[in-house]
Structure formats: C-alpha cells, structure tokens
C-alpha cells in the first residue's frame, strides 16, 4: 500500500467564517444602496475624454451636465452580476478565476503535506529569530509595493504568511499584519511605484520619479510604524493567546504542525520534490512580476499568470505526492466551494463603482470637488486633493485609472492655487492607497480577508488607530511639501 494512503488530510483552512460573511454582506449591501441613492440625488454629468498612448484621459474644463440616465432601482441589486458582462469585465473575471485557482491549489497543498513541509522549513530555519523574520517579511512586502508597484500579484502569498504566523506562536491577525497591511501601506508610501507616482508624474509633466528624497523618508517612517504596530500586537498575543482579537475564530482552524514525520523515506522524498516543484513555479511567477515592474505594459498579465502558476504548482505538488487525480480534483473542488462566498462579496464590492458609473455621477463628484479646490488656500488645496482622492478611491480602486481621471484636472488646479504639481502628485499618492485597507469596496482587501478568519469589522477595529497616525503623518508631509515648494515644480 502506498505511503500517501495512510496520510491524514486536513480540512482546508481557506474558508470565510459565517459571521464574517454575513457582516461583510450587510455592509456591502448598504453601500450598494447608498451608491444607488446618490445616483438619484446628484445631477449627472461628464468630461470629454481623449485617447493618449492607448489610455483614456479626461479633458480639463470640458465638464457638462447631462440628462438623467434611465437606471432603475432594481438594477442596484443585479449590479454584482452585471459587472461580469460590463465594460472591463475581463478584470472582474480574472479576479474571480484568481480566487478559485488559488483557493483550490492551496487546499491541494494542505492535503498533500507540501504546505506543512514549507512551514517546517521556515520555522526550523528562523527558530529563535522570529521577530527578525517578521521585520524582513514586512520590509519585503512594503519594498516591492513602494518601489516596483507590485500589489495584486503578491496577494496569494498571504495564505502562506497566515499559517506561518500561527507556527511562530501568533494569530491570523498577525499574519495579515505581516502581509496585507505592509503590502497596501507600501503601495501608498510609494517611492518609484510606476502605477501611482509614475503615471501621475507623467500626466503632470514632471520628471519621472523626481522628488524621491521626501518619499523615501516617508517610506522609512511608515515601515517603522507598521513594524512596531504588528510587533507590539504579536508580543501581546504570544504572551496571552486569549488577547488575540480573533482567538475564537482561530480555534476552528488547525494550523499546528503535526509531530509526526513522513512515514517512510519515500513519502518524505515525494513531499520534498513537491515542495521544490511548487517553489519553482512560484519563482517563475515572481520573476515575471519583477519583469512587469520594469515593463508596465506587461502588468495586466502578472495577476492571471500568478494565479495560473499557483494552480500548476498546486496540482503538480498533489500529483507528485501521490494523491491521485480524483483526490486532487476533490481537493480543488473543496477549495473552490469554500471560496464562493468570498467571490460573491468581491462582486458586490465591484458593483459599487458599476452603480455610480451607470448613474453618471462619477465625473460630477470630481467636478464639484475640483471647483471647491480652486477656491482654497495653498495648504488647504493640498489637503483637499488628498481628501478628494480618498473619496474617489472608494469608487475607483485602480490607482492608474484614478490618475488618468484626476491628474489632468488636478495638475492645472495646482498651478492656480499656488502649490507645486509635485505636491499634488504626493497628495494624490497618499489619498490613493492607505484607505484601501479601510474601504469594503476594495476588492483586494476582501480577497485578503477571505484568505483568513478575520472579519471586516475586526480588521477595522485593529487598524483604525494606525490609520489615524498615518493620516496625521501624511498631513505633516503635505505641510512640509507646501512650505518647501516641493518640486522641481
């Protein structure tokens, strides 16, 4: 009888909790209704748009109010399904397939013992130096996001960091604090991020990546704050596990390493070969992601390729360990079913923008805000650019899409109100990213939470204090930028 036939397979740890799902569902449903109500009370309008190097940009000064579109109330509630066939649906379908592929592959990795082998290796290597490992992991996530703009493609790694955090004596929240939190904050504390700084500076006609010195200082401070925040919480959980904000939720998932080694040399060799195969697939994926950071034109392929290689790596690992085709297929199906509630939440989150766009009020909101900014003082203008970006980020998650929508309007406004265009870009960057970790309309936040037992309300409760500190820090740096004439212009 084969060794793997004696192996006990674990229940998949990727499964959104019932209470977490219900809370997120209610919150998103309310947001959908509020967005729909806004389409009834705000007068619709639009800017003219032109194609520039294959990207659509608005024409400053071209805004005009328009007739109210025929958008019935019942379509607010069908919007989560309409996004699958709406313009830009390729992105939506890619996200859904990404979730299915990653959840299915991860379940195979769990049941084959490959995940446990990986965690054993890491725990053994960093035994006694786990806080150093925490600092390194947080830095890597922040660095890749801030300097290379790598964000979506690193989200799959969250599902490895969470069980690793448990192996090291912490909890699921700490795992998210080591991965999802620094990933988003690094993207926001951008230094040479091509999707925020790069696009915004190009539209503002600034030298590419100019003014990096101030952004590097900001990045270092944010890194220290994030590290201290997560480390402090982890130490509290380590000293008293019941202090964990998700103590009860974590009890329902088995993250502990088994005491048993593989039953035979053959079984151990199979698992090691599976680990090598999966690591090779991830290595190829990460290499391609790094290439896309240097060649933004390929960035649209990074997310689906990461998901595809994750799937290939997971299935390959299952076959190598001798699970057999039927068990691999069953494991993949289990992971997929566990992820379906999260898929629904993602579609609901994406429908918020769909509702606002169909109501024709996206441009109206931007026009009203820009009119207000044009009458403000210098620091107030920089602050309001920040706030406007925060508001627009609720409806439009893509950083580059917001840049093409907003920067053609904000750049000339900066000249009018007496702030440098570099300051406007800095305000845009701050407003674009940090709120991603608060807004339930952000698909990537829901994806990250969907990989864990952490509910949205508990996530907000844990991070809101840090968000407040970062908000004040952002205002301080905007004040410095205004007072110093942060440039070159």
pLDDT (0 to 100) of residue 266: 61
Instruction: Supply 359's token pair.
Output: 């109501």
pLDDT (0 to 100) of residue 214: 95
Pairing of strands 49-52, 55-58: antiparallel
Residue 216's CB: how many other CB atoms inside 10 A? 15
pLDDT (0 to 100) of residue 15: 67
Q: What are the pLDDT digits (tens) for 430-475?
A: 988 778 888 998 888 988 898 888 999 999 999 999 999 999 999 9
Name the percent of the chain lying above pLDDT 90: 42
Instruction: Supply 156's token pair.
Output: 């799959």
Query: Residue 173: which of 105, 241, 110, 81 has the closest Cα?
Result: 241
Q: How far is CA 352 from CA 74, 88, 439, in A?
A: 14, 14, 11
Reported residue count of the chain is: 489
Residue 433's CB: how many other CB atoms inside 10 A? 25
Q: In whole angstroms, give the CA distance from residue 176 to residue 266.
A: 35
Q: Of the given ranges (52-61, 214-223, 228-237, 428-437), which has the lowest mean pLDDT?
A: 52-61
Mean pLDDT to the nearest integer, 265-277 = 80
Query: Residue 154: which of 175, 180, 177 has the closest Cα?
Result: 180
For residue 54, pLDDT beyond 80:
no
> The dihedral of CA 368, 374, 380, 385: what is its sign?
positive
For residue 8, pLDDT beyond 50:
no
User: Crossing angle for the helix pair 212-239 and 180-188, nearest 10 degrees?
Assistant: 160
Per-residue pLDDT band for 13 (boundaries 50, 70, 90) equals low
Name the percent of the chain lying above pLDDT 70: 92
Scan for tokens 């840049």, then name that residue.
Answer: 403
Per-residue pLDDT band for 429 (boundaries 50, 70, 90) equals very high
Q: What pTM was estimated for this model as a whole?
A: 0.84
For residue 219, pLDDT beyond 90:
yes
């Amino acid at each position: 009888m084969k060794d793997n036939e004696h192996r006990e397979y674990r229940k998949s740890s990727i499964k959104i909790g019932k209470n977490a799902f219900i809370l997120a569902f209610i919150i998103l449903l309310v947001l959908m209704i509020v967005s729909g109500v806004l389409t009834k009370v705000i007068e619709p309008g639009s800017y003219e748009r032109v194609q520039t190097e294959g990207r659509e940009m608005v024409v400053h000064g071209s805004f005009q109010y328009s007739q109210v579109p025929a958008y019935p109330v019942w379509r607010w509630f069908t919007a989560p399904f309409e996004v699958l066939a709406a313009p830009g649906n390729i992105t939506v379908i890619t996200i859904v397939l990404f979730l299915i592929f990653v959840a299915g592959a991860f379940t195979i990795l769990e049941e084959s013992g490959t995940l446990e082998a990986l965690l054993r290796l890491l725990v053994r290597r960093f035994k006694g130096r786990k806080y150093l490992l925490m600092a390194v992991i947080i830095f890597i996530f922040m660095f890749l996001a801030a300097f290379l703009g790598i964000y979506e493609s690193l989200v799959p790694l969250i599902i490895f960091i969470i069980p690793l955090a448990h192996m090291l004596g912490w909890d699921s929240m700490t795992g998210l604090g080591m991965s999802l939190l620094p990933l988003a904050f690094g993207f926001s504390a951008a230094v040479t991020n091509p999707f925020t700084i790069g696009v915004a500076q190009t539209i503002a006609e600034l030298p590419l990546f100019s003014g990096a010195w101030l952004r590097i200082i900001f990045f270092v401070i944010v890194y220290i704050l994030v590290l201290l925040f997560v480390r402090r919480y982890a130490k509290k959980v380590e000293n008293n596990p019941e202090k964990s904000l998700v103590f009860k939720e974590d009890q329902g998932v088995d993250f502990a390493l088994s005491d048993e080694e593989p039953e035979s040399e053959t079984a151990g060799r199979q698992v090691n070969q599976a680990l090598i195969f999966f690591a090779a697939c991830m290595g190829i994926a990460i290499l391609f992601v790094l290439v896309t950071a240097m060649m933004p034109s390929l960035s649209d392929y990074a997310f689906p390729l990461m998901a595809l290689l994750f799937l290939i790596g997971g299935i390959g690992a299952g076959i190598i360990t001798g699970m057999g085709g039927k068990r691999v297929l069953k494991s993949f199906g289990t992971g997929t079913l566990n992820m379906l509630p999260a898929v629904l939440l993602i579609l609901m989150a994406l429908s918020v923008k769909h509702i606002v766009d169909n109501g024709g009020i996206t441009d109206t909101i931007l026009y009203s805000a820009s009119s207000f900014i044009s009458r403000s003082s210098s620091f107030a203008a920089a602050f309001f650019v920040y706030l406007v970006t925060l508001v627009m980020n609720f409806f439009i998650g893509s950083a580059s899409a917001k840049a093409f929508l907003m920067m053609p309007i904000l750049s000339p406004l900066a000249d009018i109100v007496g702030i440098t265009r570099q300051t406007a870009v800095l305000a845009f960057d701050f407003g674009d990213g940090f709120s991603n970790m608060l807004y339930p309309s952000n698909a990537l936040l829901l994806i990250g939470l969907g990989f864990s037992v952490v509910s949205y309300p508990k996530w907000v409760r844990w991070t809101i204090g840090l968000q407040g500190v970062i908000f004040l820090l952002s205002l301080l740096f905007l004040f410095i930028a205004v007072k110093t004439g942060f440039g070159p212009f």
